[in-house]
Amino acid sequence: MEAGITLQSQSFRLRERMQEANISHGQEVRADLPNIRVVALAGAAEGQALFCTMGAIRVREILNRGDGGPLPTDVTLEGFRVASSGTYD
């Protein structure tokens, strides 16, 4: 199933965790994002990602320093495929 963002995703939590990890606008990183919950949507082969239980982000590598500006408020999630509902790191 492919997981996407909905109003219930609490994407503000992702933004908070990114700020805690000192990630800024335009920055590209390889990072661990622990405890992202994925829930199947009723009657669909799709799911929603939930960031409410997400732990601290661990930045493993900085690929691009970015411009140091503030993070955007919108979240886009592409290509996040999982086998079933559950919690993923």
Query: Domain boundaries in the chain?
Result: 2-64
pLDDT of residue 55: 96
Q: How confident is the model at residue 18 (pLDDT cuts 50, 70, 90)?
A: very high
* Nearest of 5, 14, 11, 9 to residue 33 by alpha carbon: 14
pLDDT at 78: 86
Q: Name the strands in the sheet holding 86-88, side by side, starting at the edge strand that comes first in the sequence.
A: 2-4, 46-50, 36-40, 86-88
Residue 51 is predicted with a pLDDT of 95
pLDDT tens figures, 33-74: 999 999 998 877 789 999 999 999 999 999 999 998 999 988
